Amino acid sequence: MAINLDSIKNRLQSLQQQSTDKGSKRATDDIWKPEVGTQQVRIVPYIHNKENPFIELYFHYNVGKRSYLSPITFGNPDPIVEFAEKLKQTGSKEDWLNGRKLEPKMRIYAPVIVRGQEDQGVKFWGFGIQVYQELLSYIADPDYGDITDPVNGRDIVVEVRPPADTGKSYPETNIRIKPNKTQVSDNKDIIASLKNQKKITEIFNEYTYDELKEVLEKWLNPEEESEVATDYTETTASSASNNTSSTKNQIEDAFAELFNQDN
């Protein structure tokens, strides 16, 4: 089944509209992270959704010491999102900003074959919305078309520049689509590996509503955790509450009211 170009074009338009109106990963061998310098990859069809190789995931990065995959990724309710909305409705600018920080952020993953590492099989490349929009723009352009096609697709040059070179506080990623159409490989083992892809939920845990509710409760009430955990969560929680007891009380009250608990 070929990539659905109409779907890609619609998604590009939606992302551009969002931009007008207005990604942590698990350490695993299945994730490819480009290093500083230039590398080359080939996006391949996602075997679990052949119409679209791009997998949009939403993560919470500001709750506790790790990232959490939000259930909204799969259209399910998320207690942290509900709590963030509650904060944004208090009428306090500080609470509104705290609520915004708690909202999940989108990061996109695509299955790739990394040139020079073809024998390692398919990996997943994670990138932000800017690279995502650029990739969708190429695919929507009839001069390029389906760059993920295993036979007539195109490789992608990925260049990562360090903060020291860009003057920014983070590395900058740029992409360039190779002009020539090529097949993924003529090696039958590499071609076979395209069918041996993991589901993205095998790499990132899909948390339940109750699991995330417990995460949020512990983050808001760090004194209930162990001494080591408390040292960390008090630091992160203080950044959200700006080290003020009044804001902490507002957060706890909002949480209690949201989930019908006793104050």
Q: What is the CATH number of the domain that holds 20?
A: 3.90.198.10
Question: Do the domain assignments include residue 141?
Answer: yes
Is residue 232 situated within a structural domain? no
The four Cα atoms 43, 44, 48, 53 give a dihedral, to 10 degrees, of 40
pLDDT average, residue stretch 152-181? 93
- Residue 255 belongs to a domain: no
* pLDDT value, residue 115: 96
Per-residue pLDDT of 172-210, as tens digits, reads: 999 999 999 999 999 998 999 899 899 998 999 889 999
pLDDT band (50, 70, 90) for residue 232: very low
In a domain, 224, yes or no: no
Average pLDDT, the chain: 82
Please name the amino acid found at residue 80.
I
- The pLDDT of residue 253 is 60
Bigger pLDDT: 254 or 47? 47
Query: What is the pTM assigned to this prediction?
Result: 0.76
pLDDT given at position 118: 94
- Of 234 and 101, the structure prediction assigns the larger pLDDT to 101
Structural domains counted in the chain: 1
**For residue 194, what are the domain limits?**
5-207
Q: Would 225 be classed as within a structural domain?
A: no
In a domain, 249, yes or no: no
- In this prediction, residue 6 has a pLDDT band, given cuts at 50, 70 and 90, of low
Residue from 261, 215, 253, 256 nearest 65 by CA: 215
pLDDT of residue 40: 97
pLDDT of 224 reads 53
The answer to whether residue 178 sits within a structural domain is yes
